[in-house]
Every structure is written in C-alpha cells, then in structure tokens.
Amino acid sequence: MWAGALAVGLCTAHVRAQEASAGGAVMVYSDSDNVTVISPRVSGRQTVAELQVDVAAGVDLVTAASVDLVTAASPKGFSEERWQVEARAGRQWAGGSALRGWYALSREPDFLSHQVGVGGGVELRDRHSLLGLGLVTDQSTVGHRYDPTYGRPRTGYSLQATWTEILGPETLFDLAYTAGRQQGMLASPYRFVRIYDPADGGQHRSAVAEAVPDARTRHGLVVGLRSRLLPRWFVLGQARGHSDDWGLLALSATLRMSFSLTPQWTIDAEMRLHGQGRAAFYRSAYATWPQAPAWRTADKELGPMRTWQGGLHVQWRPFGLRPPLVAAGLGADVVRFDYLDYQWLAGRTALVTLAHLTWEP
C-alpha cells in the first residue's frame, strides 16, 4: 500500500534542504465490504555531506471477509500482515540539477517484491522549466498462502517523464507521461471464474482458474495546474488518462485546495472522480460451457467502474515557523466504488482516516 508503481519524487529536481526530521503516521481503511486495513508507518530523514537520505518502514494489518472471496478457492475470511521498508537518497546541485535513487522491499505471506528506482531532473530557462526522468524496476514472486512450494515470477518496468513550467508568479503547469510494462504471473492464484451453460438457462457448470495475458503494457498522461488564488489559498487541478493493451481505458480528475488559516493551522480539501471501461476479455458472466475462454477473469477492477472520493485534512504546527518544528495532522476521506457490471457486488463505500506527527529539530 505504501509503495507506488512509480515514485513521483524520483522525477523532481528539488531536494529539500532539510538537515533532519522524523515522523510517524497511522492510516485506517474500512469499507462496507468487510475489509479493514490498519497501516502504521515510521520515517526519518537526514542530510549527510549534501546527500539527503530518507528511510521508512510500514506494515499493513489486513482483515478481510469480502464478497470477492466467493471467487476464491477457499471462500472464507483471512488476516495477514504486509511489511515494507524503503530507502531513498538524493542530491541537488547549485545549478538546479538533481539525482535521486530509491529501493523498496515489500513482503506478504504470498508475495515478495524488490523495487529499485533512479531519477533526476534539470532546470532550464533561468529556472523557469523543470524536466525530470525516472525509471523503476520491480522483481516480484507471487506465492500461495496454502502452498509453500508455489512461486511464480513477475517483473515490471516503469518510465516517467515530467515537465513543470512557471506560467506566472503564482501559477505552475505540470505535464507527465508514464509508460510501464509487467510480465509474468499477472492473474490471482486464488481467483476462480465460473462457466455457465447458455443452453440450460445460464446454469453454473464449472469453475476454472483465472487466466489473463502474461504481459501488460500501460500508458498514462497527467496534465495539471497549481496556483495561488489568494495569499493563503492554493489550488491544484489535475486530469489523468490511462490506457493499456488489455483494452482498458480510464479517466480521472482531481481538485485539491489548501488554505492557511494561520501559520499554525492549514486545511486541505480534495475531490476526485474516476471512471473506466472494461478490459477486452472481461465479462460479468462467461456463458461458454463446455468451453472456457483462453482469457478470463473475475477481477472487478478490470470491469467498468466509477469512483468518487472526497476528503478533508487539518494540520497543526504548534510552534509556528521557528525550529524546532512540530506538525500534527488528522484527515479523513470517503470513497465510493461503483462496479457497473459485476454480479457479486454493485459497490462499496470506504472510510480512510489518517493521523500523523512529524518533528524537525
């Protein structure tokens, strides 16, 4: 949960000149589909000889008894822990160029992932333009919690190019393009697909293991604007487009606003809309008995869906702007998922809460 496919921080040319900091956070996810995730995380930052080093560790404590388990080989609830540690190092030079590297290890009872990333950036046109480039590789092993001998490889590569342009004293334009490819075991070893008989009123006849192509290529484009509308009011607008060679197309829009009430208090609000179509081989029901399609899935995330999200976050700096700096924050998001063609679940609503504390001596 804590690691993304591509860290945006790899592609920025700015490494904050901050000697040291430490922090902790706890995020809690709970939804109407009986899934709960508690995620504590600790992090630290230290600057050594012009090199900024960041380290972090977190764990996801997952409890699930969702309706998705009806498509699993063992339809019952489960609890598990998912651990991750990561380290980053970066340096910025006087001319505006920067270089950054990143490593993350993620381990679950049935999944092991090693991610390595490198990126850099350069400022041009008297620091009016910022160009960045980042690459992340992922080497993973997909396992099975009930079969210790099961192990399938999965590899991934992701490349991101970014451009930030200063349009005026208070406005920035952002553009980012991402290309990624995954290969190997991309299906879930737990997910089974039901096959129905169209000649017998659509009766269920059998269930076969999920099978999807062993390679997937994705492309994404992000366009955004950041601006200060008033002395204490900042706004970000962003549009994203995503497509892949499985036939899935997705679009999303984000609006984020930040308002500084005082030097001690900041309020952030965010709204996000997301919509997507279906993968070319996705069906809500496969009525193909006695045959099974070569590609088949029971993954609702590959079907048509909508997502609505809104959240509010409050941050408090009790000691103002002078060292030592302490910041504490609380936030909550409500997320609604609508699955437009999934026979087992029409939708679910989730509440995501976050509490964090940071200290900069």
For 335-353, what is each residue's pLDDT tens digit?
A: 999 999 998 899 999 999 9
The Cα 99–Cα 95 span in angstroms is: 12
DSSP state at residue 286: B
Q: What is the pLDDT of residues 39-88, one digit of tens each?
A: 999 999 998 888 999 999 999 999 887 766 555 544 556 788 999 999 99
pLDDT, residue 19, reads 72
Q: Do residues 20 and 147 touch, judged by C-beta distance below 8 A?
A: no
pLDDT at 100 over 80: yes
Q: For the chain, which domains are there?
A: 20-360 (2.40.160.40)
Give the pLDDT band (50/70/90) at residue 321. low
Mean pLDDT for the stretch of residues 6-22: 51
> What average pLDDT does this structure show over 123-138?
92
| For residue 7, pLDDT beyond 50 | no
- Asked if pLDDT for residue 1 goes beyond 80, the answer is no
11: confidence class by pLDDT, cuts 50, 70, 90: very low
Are residues 207 and 194 in contact, defined by beta-carbon separation less than 8 angstroms? yes
What are the DSSP calls for 137-200, one per residue? Answer: EEEEEEEETTEEEEEEEEEEEEEEEEEEEEEETTEEEEEEEEEEEEEE--S-TTBEEEEEEGGG
Q: What is residue 107's predicted lDDT score, i.e. its pLDDT?
A: 95
pLDDT tens-place string over residues 117-130: 999 999 988 878 99
**Residue 13: predicted pLDDT:** 35
E-only strand ranges, the chain: 20-31, 35-48, 51-64, 78-92, 98-108, 111-124, 129-144, 147-168, 171-184, 192-197, 203-209, 215-230, 233-244, 249-260, 265-276, 305-316, 325-339, 347-360
**Residue 254 in contact with residue 238, Cβ under 8 Å?**
yes
181-199 pLDDT, tens digit per residue, is 999 999 999 899 999 998 8
CA dihedral 306, 181, 183, 146 (to 10 degrees): -40
Compute the Cα dihedral for 291, 293, 294, 300 and give only its sign: negative
Residue 323 pLDDT class (50, 70, 90 cuts): low
Binning pLDDT at 50, 70 and 90, where does residue 95 land?
Answer: confident
280 Ramachandran zone, left/alpha/beta (phi>0; psi -120 to 50): alpha
